[in-house]
Amino acid sequence: MDLVTPGFGLVFWTIISFLILLIVLRKLAWKPILGALSDREEGIQNALDAAEKAKLEMANLNADNERLLQEARAERETMMKEAREIKSKMISDAKEEAQAEANKTIANAQTAIESEKKAAISELKSTVATLSVDIAEKMVKGQLSDKSKQLELVNSMLNDAKLN
């Protein structure tokens, strides 16, 4: 018998053994193996779906976070702008108030100066008038003591009165 070429009986019994093994495996092992593979495939698919869902949720969360961050930045900018406007208004109000107070103080000082000036002028006029009267009285007493000087004074006054 040739070892390289199998005989008809060997091929027949090998085919029969293989078919019996195939039927036994199909009945006993094939269904559990296919069920396990199907369960595993379903589990892998579920895991992939869950991963995709998580990826989408993460993208949505990132978008929400970015939107919230932009809103927070815009709100911060608005608050900073309002704060700068309030600061500017407070400074201008304080300047206006200080200017008004300074103008009021200057006006009061000018009024006081004018009042003091008028009082000083009035007092000076009063003093000059008193001195003039005293001097005139002394001069008149000196001139009126002599009769000829009295007549001369009266004539001089009459001449002055006619000229005016």
DSSP per residue over the chain, as a string? --SSSPPHHHHHHHHHHHHHHHHHHIIIIIHHHHHHHHHHHHHHHHHHHHHHHHHHHHHHHHHHHHHHHHHHHHHHHHHHHHHHHHHHHHHHHHHHHHHHHHHHHHHHHHHHHHHHHHHHHHHHHHHHHHHHHHHHHHHHHHHHTSHHHHHHHHHHHHHHHHH-
Give the residue-averaged pLDDT of 13-20: 94
Q: Is 1 a residue whose pLDDT tops 60?
A: no
Its pTM stands at: 0.41
Residue 28 banded pLDDT, cuts 50, 70, 90:
confident
Mean pLDDT calculated for residue range 22-30 = 85
* Choice among 25-29, 118-122, 159-163 with the minimum mean pLDDT: 159-163
